[in-house]
Every structure is written in C-alpha cells, then in structure tokens.
C-alpha cells in the first residue's frame, strides 16, 4: 500500500500561495489538496478555477480537488481545464452520482466521492468499482482546524474491508482534524491518503511534511 500526504492549501497563506505549494511539494507531499467551497453545500466560500490555474505551473504534483459544491458536475470540465488531476465530489451533493462519476472519468480525471461524517460507507456499494478513491470526512466540511470525529476511523475500517472483499485497489483518504497524533491509527484502519491542513501549515510546513512521511515509513516497515 502506497501512503500519500495531501496538504490542504486551505491552511496556507493565500498571499504566498505559490511559495506554500512549492514548500510542501519539495518536502515530499505527493498530492496537493484543494478545497473548493461554494457557500451553499458548505457555509463558507474559498476559491475556484482562476486560483487553481494560477498555481498549476508551480508543481507537477497531483492536484486533488475536493468539491464542497452543490451539483459539482457543472464544473467538472472547468476544473479539468484549470488543472485538476483528481476530482472528488460529495455523495450528498449529487442527485445523479453515477452520471457525475462517469463525467469525471470521461474527462480523464481520477474520480473520487467524499462522505460527510453522518453518511454511511454502504451508500457507495453500487459505485465502488468505478471509483479511484473514497474520501472519509472526519469533520463536518466547511472549515479547517476542526476537531477529529473519532467514529470516522471505524468507517475507514469498514470501507477497507468492503474494498478488500471485492478485490479492489481503492485509495481511502481521510480529511479533517488529521495530525501526527492520529495518523498512525488511520493508516492501521486502512486509510492510505491523509489530508492535513493546519497540521502541515501551522509552524514549519516542510518539517511537518517530513514528520508525516516518517509515520508513513514506520507503517510501511511493519508490512
Ligand atoms: C474541511 C476541508 C479540509 C480542511 C482540513 O472542510 O475539507 O480539507 O482544510 O483542515 P484541517 O486539517 O485543519 O482539519
Ligand atoms: Zn478537503
């Protein structure tokens, strides 16, 4: 299993966004997690396509775009053009989830679905085979710096068991309140991609990335 760190730029300094993306990319983060909020699906508004295109040139790392947007299929093509490699839509925001997943794949992006804390993993039973990744939210989406909801760990465990049973090589990402204190527990439960906003950008971002990578190495060493 390959472990990946996805720093969330929501916690970066927007006035120095290129610098902050480059810092985590150079330190070894393989994904850049990009939180798009529409003020409808979640209360807050973050940023959209112009910001994403303007940082696309500073790294060739995977742009992992988390759409906290109602009916995100409306923006799939624009996100691809802006530089998204992976598009993650919320199950709760898509009336025709199957169609939205197909749309993302037809555009040549990796397709992922995010689940709010209260949404059970079984809701993805019919579409699991079509997905590259599932994002288990461990806070209610909308803001950085919130407290980790402990039952998310059990959801990861259930999802990994579902994927294993079907022989699927599914990426499982966890987002919200993730830090060095709970990273090991999440990997043990079956997650392989961790999103971290404040835990990376609070203090020395490069050093924080390296600390996460150490946890990954330790876990990989255990087989
Ligand atoms: C929350 C976002 C997260 C957020 C994580 O709605 O989806 O990606 O930036 O921030 P931390 O790691 O600070 O909880
Ligand atoms: Zn996110």
- Reported as a single tens digit per residue, the pLDDT across 69-94 is 999 999 999 999 999 999 999 999 99
User: How many angstroms is it from 31 CA to the middle of ligand 1?
Assistant: 14
**pLDDT digit string, tens, across residues 3-57:** 999 999 999 999 999 999 999 999 999 999 999 999 999 999 999 999 999 999 9
- Most informative mutation of 5, 146, 199 for ligand 1 (most atoms within 8 A of CB): 146
Give 49 Cα–ligand 1 centroid separation in angstroms: 19
| 82 closest CA partner among 117, 109, 45, 103 | 109
Residue 93's pLDDT is what? 99
Q: State how beta strands 110-115 and 86-90 pair.
A: parallel
Give the distance (Å) from ligand 2 centre to CA of residue 33: 7
- Whose Cα sits closest to atom 7 in ligand 1? 141
Catalytic entry in 60, 64, 175, 181: 175
Model confidence band, residue 1 (pLDDT cutoffs 50, 70, 90): confident
Neighbouring residues of the ion ligand 2, judged by CB less than 5 Å? 35, 66, 175
Best CA proximity match to 35, nearest among 73, 9, 7: 9
Q: Is the pTM above the cut of 0.95?
A: yes
Q: Which residues pair with 64 in a beta bridge?
A: 33, 86
Q: Is 13 a catalytic residue?
A: no
User: In what order do the strands lie in the sheet containing 4-7?
Assistant: 4-7, 193-196, 171-175, 133-137, 110-115, 86-90, 62-68, 31-37
The Cβ of residue 44 has, within 10 Å, a number of other Cβ atoms equal to: 14
Is the distance from CB of 175 to CB of 33 less than 8 angstroms?
yes
Residue 175 known to be catalytic: yes
Summarised one tens digit per residue, pLDDT across range 157-187 is 999 999 999 999 999 999 999 999 999 999 9
Q: How far apart are CA 6 and CA 15, in angstroms?
A: 20
């Amino acid at each position: 299993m390959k472990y990946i760190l996805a720093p969330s730029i929501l916690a970066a300094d927007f006035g120095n966004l290129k610098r902050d993306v480059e810092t985590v990319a150079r330190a070894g983060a393989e994904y850049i997690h990009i939180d798009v909020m529409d003020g409808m699906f979640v209360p807050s508004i973050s940023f959209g396509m112009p910001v994403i295109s303007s940082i696309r040139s500073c790294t060739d790392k995977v742009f992992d775009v988390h759409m906290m947007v109602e009916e995100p299929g409306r923006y799939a093509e624009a996100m691809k053009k802006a530089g998204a490699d992976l598009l993650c839509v919320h199950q709760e925001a898509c009336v025709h989830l199957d169609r939205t997943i197909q749309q993302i794949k037809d555009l040549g992006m990796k397709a992922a679905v995010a689940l709010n804390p209260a949404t059970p993993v079984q809701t993805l039973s019919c579409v699991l085979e079509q997905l590259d990744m599932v994002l288990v939210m461990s806070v209610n989406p909308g803001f950085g710096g919130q407290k980790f909801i402990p039952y998310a760990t059990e959801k990861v465990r259930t999802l990994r068991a579902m994927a294993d049973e079907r022989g699927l090589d599914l990426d499982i990402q966890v987002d919200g309140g993730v830090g060095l204190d709970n990273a090991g527990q999440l990997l043990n439960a079956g997650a392989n991609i961790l999103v971290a906003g404040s835990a990376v950008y609070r203090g020395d971002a490069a050093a924080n990335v390296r600390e996460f990578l150490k946890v990954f190495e330790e876990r990989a060493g255990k087989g």
